[in-house]
Amino acid sequence: MAICQFFLQGRCRFGDRCWNEHPGARGAGGGRQQPQQQPSGNNRRGWNTTSQRYSNVIQPSSFSKSTPWGGSRDQEKPYFSSFDSGASTNRKEGFGLSENPFASLSPDEQKDEKKLLEGIVKDMEVWESSGQWMFSVYSPVKKKPNISGFTDISPEELRLEYHNFLTSNNLQSYLNSVQHLINQWRNRVNELKSLNISTKVALLSDVKDGVNQAAPAFGFGSSQAATFMSPGFPVNNSSSDNAQNFSFKTNSGFAAASSGSPAGFGSSPAFGAAASASSGISTSAPAFGFGKPEVTSAASFSFKSPAASSFGSPGFSGLPASLATGPVRAPVAPAFGGGSSVAGFGSPGSHSHTAFPKPSSDTFGNSSISTSLSASSSIIATDNVLFTPRDKLTVEELEQFQSKKFTLGKIPLKPPPLELLNF
Amino acid sequence: MSLFGTTSGFGTSGTSMFGSATTDNHNPMKDIEVTSSPDDSIGCLSFSPPTLPGNFLIAGSWANDVRCWEVQDSGQTIPKAQQMHTGPVLDVCWSDDGSKVFTASCDKTAKMWDLSSNQAIQIAQHDAPVKTIHWIKAPNYSCVMTGSWDKTLKFWDTRSSNPMMVLQLPERCYCADVIYPMAVVATAERGLIVYQLENQPSEFRRIESPLKHQHRCVAIFKDKQNKPTGFALGSIEGRVAIHYINPPNPAKDNFTFKCHRSNGTNTSAPQDIYAVNGIAFHPVHGTLATVGSDGRFSFWDKDARTKLKTSEQLDQPISACCFNHNGNIFAYASSYDWSKVRTPGPALGAPRQQSQALGSEGLGLSCDSSQDSHVSLGRSLSPPCKGKLQDFLKWLWGFSTAFGQNPAHRKCSASVSHYGLLCSWAQKHRQAGGCTL
C-alpha cells in the first residue's frame, strides 16, 4: 500500500478510513483500549487528541460532501501523532537529556518527558499570546492532574469581587489584587516557559503524581521556588459565607498566629502584614511553607488543605524580607496581597466571618484586616493541626526551629510548636 | 422601576445605540432584539418548557434582576414581569409545568418565582453564591438541584427549608446540566462528575477532564432514543469536548474541537482564544450551538463533526444562549462577560462606551451599565423536509432571512441605514436568497 503522505505530515483527514498506509500508528492504535493516555511507550501520540479539523471553515462544497459519510465519519485519530502543540520533535529546548533528573529514564520515557515539556512550553506560549482567560488551572495532558501554580477563578467570581468592592468604594484594592493575580500568573507562565531543572522536576512530579508532591520539592532547593507562585487566592469558599471571601480564605492558622496582634494587622492596609506581627510570624512562615506536604500543592496553597492550616502564610506575604530564610514563601506575598484588598471586604459587609465552622476547615473568612474584624476573632485553631506539640518534633527539627535561620536540606516538614512562635 | 413600557417590537431597543456615529456592530446578524433588556450583563437565559403554550423567555442579569418576556411568533417580545434578588442572578430555570421559575443568585439563595401570582419565595440557602439551578422531575420525586461555590450540591423540596440531600463536590461548582436521569456537574480545578438521578441522586462517575483548562459550561445531549447519553463541555480555551458516558469506543467517540478562535484553520500563527460561554443543544435536531467571548455564536453537528455556521462578530461577548422548546427560536445575550481582565488600565472613571471593543478597558470597569446588554432572538421557519441535515440547513436559511420577510424587520434595518455596513449585508443576503455557510 502506498504510504499516506498526509499522515506523515500529521494531517491525514481520513484517519482510520484512509486507504493509504499509516506507518506506525496501526499497532499502537489497535492495542489501546482505554482513553487514558499512557506516557510510556506511546511516544507517537500527540498529547492532545483533539482533532484539528473541526476548526476548519467548511466550504459549501465540502459541506455537501460530508453528508454521504453520514454518521460517524470518524476522523478522530486519537493516537494520531499530530503535534500541533508539541510542534516539532526536534526542538531543542536547551536542556539535554543527559542531565541528571532524566538520566535514569529509559529512552522512551525520556522522549515522552521531552514531549510533555515541549507541549507545556508551547501551551504556555499560546496561553500568553492568545488573550484567553488567565485564571485557569492547566494540565498538559488531558486526563492528568493539574499543574501546580495556577488557580482557578471563574470570570463570575472575579466579577463578584468587583461588585463587592464597588459597594465599598475601594476599587483600587480590587485592582491591586487583580494585578497581583495577573503577575503571579505571568510569573508562573514564564517559569514554565523557560524550564530549568528544578521546575522540570517539579513539573514532572506534578504530572505524574498529582500536585501533592510539589511542596517539598520546592522546599529543598531551588531558589526559583520563589517564583513558585502559590497562587494565593484560596478560592475555596467552603462554609463561611463568601461572596466576599473569594480570595481570602486564609487559614485559621494565620489567624491564630496573628491573634496576638490584631491591631498590627488592622493597621496596614497595604499588605496586610503588619510589621509587628511579622517577626512572630516569619519564623513560622517557612515552616508552614513546608509543612504538610500531603496538603498538596503549595499551589493550592489554601485550597485543598482540609485541615491544613499550614498555609497560614497569607499573612506573610507582606514580608518577603522576613521570609528570607525559607526560600519559598515569598510568593505568598501576592497571595496575601489579595488579602489587603480584603480591606474592602469586611466593611460593606457585615460579614464578620465569624463563621468558624469546624476546626478542620481552613477557611478563615478573611475580612479581618482593616476592619476590626480582626484576625483574632474566631479562629478556631486546633493546635495540633497548626503547630506540632514540642514532643512530637525530633531533636533536629526542634533545633531548626530554634535557630535563627533554616538550613537548606534540614527544614522541618512539620509546623513549629506554638511555644516557639513569639508574637 | 417602570422599565416595561408597552412595546412595539424592535427598533426601540431601549438604547440609544443608533445615535452613535461609530459603526454599530451590536446586532450584525439582524436578529430581533428583545425590548427592555436588563441593565447589566446577562448571565443566563431560559425558555419555557413545552407545557406552556407560547414562548416565554427568562433572563437573569448582574443587575440583580430576573426578567420575563413573552416572545410571540411574529418575533415581538413583550416584557411581562420581573423579580429582584439582592445579588446578581447567575442561573435560572423553569419547572416542568411552566408555572414556576427558579432563580439562583450571588446572594447565596435561590428563589422560586410563581408566575401566576408574581410572588417569589426563597427555597434554598448556601454558604456561597449559587451558581447553577435545575429542576429535576423524576417519577417518584421532584426537586430543585442547586450547585454553589461552597462546593456542595443541594437538592431542595421547595416546601422545606432543609435540603433533601447534600452532596459534596471536590471544588466549586462552575456549571451543571440535568436531563433526567442524568446530571453532570463541572467544577473548578477541572473536576467533572456525573450523577444518576433515578430513585435518588447519587454520584455515578467522576470523569477525568478531557480539557486542559478551566471548565466553563456544560450541556447534556440525547441519543436517538431521546435518552441522555453524553455531554458537551466547554472551557475557557476555546475548546469544546464531546464526551459520551458509555461509548462503544471511547477513544474514537469522544473528541474535542476548537472553536471561538480568531483564526481557526491556521494553528501556527498566534491566534486569539476566547472562552466558550454557553452551549445549547437543539431539542429536535441535536445540533449544538456554542457562544463565546469573541462575540460569535456557532452551530455544529457533533455526529458529522462539522461546523455548520458561524455568525458575524458582535461587538460584545455573548454570555448566554438558549433554544426554545421546539428549536424554532435561538436566543443569545450580548453583554460583557468579564473576559478582558488583562491589564488593569486607568479605567476607573473611564466613560462608558457602548458598542466599542472592550480591549482598552482592562478590567472592564466601564461596561457595567445599561446600554450594553442585549438579548437577541434568531427567528426561524420550521423546516418541512426530512433528514436532519436538510432540516437544519433549512432552519438556518430561515434563520438568516426571516427578517427580510417581516415588515417590522425592514423597519428596523431601515433605521440603521446610515450604517452602510449593516445595510449592505442585509441587501446581499436578501438577494442571495440563502445563507452562506
Q: Test B264 with A137 for CB contact under 8 angstroms.
A: no
For residue B246, is pLDDT > 80? Answer: yes
Give the integer Cα–Cα distance in Å for A253 and B153: 28
CA of B302: which chain A residue's CA is closest?
A72
Residue B198 touches partner A, C-beta closer than 8 Å: no
Query: Stretch B417-437: mean pLDDT, rounded?
Result: 34
Q: Test B236 with A52 for CB contact under 8 angstroms.
A: no
Q: Test B365 with A137 for CB contact under 8 angstroms.
A: no
Residue A152 touches partner B, C-beta closer than 8 Å: yes
What does the pLDDT read at residue B377? 65
Q: Higher pLDDT residue, B127 or A55? A: B127
Residue B432 touches partner A, C-beta closer than 8 Å: no
Q: What is the mean pLDDT of chain B?
A: 75
CA of A240: which chain B residue's CA is closest?
B127
Q: Which of A76, A146, A171 sits opposite B348 (nearest CB)?
A: A171
For residue B298, is pLDDT > 90? Answer: yes
CB contact residues (below 8 A), chain B span 54-113, against chain A: 62, 87-88, 90, 106-108
For residue B216, is pLDDT > 90? Answer: yes
Give residue-wise pLDDT tens across range B305-335. Answer: 999 998 888 888 999 999 999 888 999 999 8
Q: Higher pLDDT residue, B38 or A208? A: B38
Q: Test B127 with A238 for CB contact under 8 angstroms.
A: yes
Q: How confident is residue B89, by pLDDT bands cut at 50, 70 and 90?
A: very high
Phi/psi of residue B98, nearest 5 degrees: 75, 15
Count of H helices and E strands in chain A? Answer: 15, 0
Q: Higher pLDDT residue, A318 or A173? A: A173
| Common-topology check for domains B34-171 and B209-318+326-336 | yes
Which one-letter DSSP state was computed for residue B39?
Answer: S
For residue A420, is pLDDT > 60? Answer: yes
Q: Test A54 with B172 for CB contact under 8 angstroms.
A: no
Q: How confident is residue B58, by pLDDT bands cut at 50, 70 and 90?
A: very high
Give the integer Cα–Cα distance in Å for A264 and A279: 11
Four-CA torsion A301, A197, A89, A147, nearest 10 degrees? -10
Is the Cβ–Cβ distance between B98 and B137 less than 8 Å?
no
Domain range list for chain A: 110-208
What does the pLDDT read at residue B100? 92
Is the Cβ–Cβ distance between A350 and A168 less than 8 Å?
no
Give the integer Cα–Cα distance in Å for A279 and A65: 72
Nearest-neighbour CA in chain B from A283: distance (Å): 31
Residue B176 touches partner A, C-beta closer than 8 Å: no
For residue B336, is pLDDT > 60? Answer: yes
What does the pLDDT read at residue A161? 86
**Which residues in chain B are closer than 8 Å to A60, comparing Cβ atoms?**
436-437
For residue A317, is pLDDT > 60? Answer: no
CA distances, A292 to each of A297, A361, A402, A415, B171 (Å): 10, 15, 19, 8, 20
Q: B interface mutation test: which of A83, A159, A176, A192 has the most B CBs within 10 A?
A: A159
What does the pLDDT read at residue B343? 47
**Which residues in chain B are closer than 8 Å to A152, comparing Cβ atoms?**
171-172, 188-190, 214
Give residue-wise pLDDT tens across range B68-82. Answer: 999 888 888 889 999
**Which residues in chain B are closer than 8 Å to A52, comparing Cβ atoms?**
258, 267
Is the Cβ–Cβ distance between A217 and A289 less than 8 Å?
no
Query: Stretch B379-385: mean pLDDT, rounded?
Result: 36
Is the Cβ–Cβ distance between B329 and B286 less than 8 Å?
no
Query: Stretch B267-271: mean pLDDT, rounded?
Result: 67
The alpha carbon of residue A289 and the mean position of all alpha carbons in its chain are separated, in whole angstroms, by 14
Q: Report the 10 Å Cβ neighbour count for B435.
A: 16
For residue B399, is pLDDT > 60? Answer: no
Residue A288 belongs to what H/E stretch? helix A275-290
For residue B253, is pLDDT > 70? Answer: yes
Which one-letter DSSP state was computed for residue A57?
Answer: P
CATH architecture of the domain with range B209-318+326-336: 7 Propeller (2.130)
Q: How confident is residue B267, by pLDDT bands cut at 50, 70 and 90?
A: low
Q: Test B255 with A49 for CB contact under 8 angstroms.
A: yes
Give the integer Cα–Cα distance in Å for B239 and B293: 12
Q: Test A238 with B151 for CB contact under 8 angstroms.
A: yes
Cell of B365: 470597569
Query: Stretch A87-96: mean pLDDT, rounded?
Result: 39
Domain range list for chain B: 34-171, 209-318+326-336
What does the pLDDT read at residue A208? 66
What does the pLDDT read at residue B378? 59
By three-state DSSP, how is residue B147 classified?
strand
The alpha carbons of chain B give a radius of gyration, in whole angstroms, of: 21
Query: Stretch B401-419: mean pLDDT, rounded?
Result: 32
Cell of B27: 446586532
Q: How confident is residue A170, by pLDDT bands cut at 50, 70 and 90?
A: confident
Q: Does domain B34-171 have CATH number 2.130.10.10?
A: yes
Is the Cβ–Cβ distance between B98 and B106 less than 8 Å?
no
What does the pLDDT read at residue A125? 83
Residue A36 touches partner B, C-beta closer than 8 Å: yes
Give residue-wise pLDDT tens across range A354-402. Answer: 333 343 333 333 333 333 333 343 334 444 566 667 776 777 777 777 7
ipTM above 0.95, yes or no: no
Phi/psi of residue B319, nearest 5 degrees: -100, -15
Query: Stretch A300-308: mean pLDDT, rounded?
Result: 37
Q: Higher pLDDT residue, A178 or A373? A: A178
Percent above pLDDT 70 for chain A: 35
What does the pLDDT read at residue A206? 67
Q: Test A133 with B214 for CB contact under 8 angstroms.
A: yes
Q: How confident is residue A237, by pLDDT bands cut at 50, 70 and 90?
A: very low
**Which residues in chain A are closer than 8 Å to B41, comparing Cβ atoms?**
159
Q: Test A182 with B261 for CB contact under 8 angstroms.
A: no
Query: Stretch B279-295: mean pLDDT, rounded?
Result: 92
What does the pLDDT read at residue A209? 62
What does the pLDDT read at residue A398? 76
Beta bridge mates, B215: B235
Q: Test B108 with A243 for CB contact under 8 angstroms.
A: yes
Beta bridge mates, B205: B194
Is the Cβ–Cβ distance between A190 and A197 less than 8 Å?
no
For residue A143, is pLDDT > 80? Answer: no
CB contact residues (below 8 A), chain A span 292-331, against chain B: 300, 303
Q: A interface mutation test: which of B42, B107, B149, B209 has the most A CBs within 10 A?
A: B149
Residue B394 touches partner A, C-beta closer than 8 Å: no
Q: Report the 10 Å Cβ neighbour count for A394.
A: 10
Q: What is the mean pLDDT of chain A?
A: 55
Which one-letter DSSP state was computed for residue A406?
Answer: P
Is the Cβ–Cβ distance between A250 and A364 less than 8 Å?
yes
Give residue-wise pLDDT tens across range B340-355. Answer: 776 443 333 323 333 2
Q: How confident is residue B28, by pLDDT bands cut at 50, 70 and 90?
A: confident
Rounded (10°) angle between helices B407-415 and B420-432? 150
Give residue-wise pLDDT tens across range A273-301. Answer: 333 333 433 343 333 333 333 333 333 33
What does the pLDDT read at residue B272? 84
Beta bridge mates, A328: none
Least confident of A90-94, A183-187, B194-198, B224-228: A90-94
Q: Test B62 with A163 for CB contact under 8 angstroms.
A: yes
Give the integer Cα–Cα distance in Å for B69 and B34: 8
Q: Which of B129, B235, B306 sits opposite A58 (nearest CB)?
A: B306
Give the integer Cα–Cα distance in Å for A151 and A248: 13
Give the integer Cα–Cα distance in Å for B32 and A263: 58
Is the Cβ–Cβ distance between A160 and B222 less than 8 Å?
no
Q: Test B305 with A53 for CB contact under 8 angstroms.
A: yes
Percent above pLDDT 90 for chain A: 0
Q: Which of B106, B250, B342 sits opposite A131 (nearest CB)?
A: B342
Give the integer Cα–Cα distance in Å for A354 and A356: 5
Phi/psi of residue A236, nearest 5 degrees: -85, 100
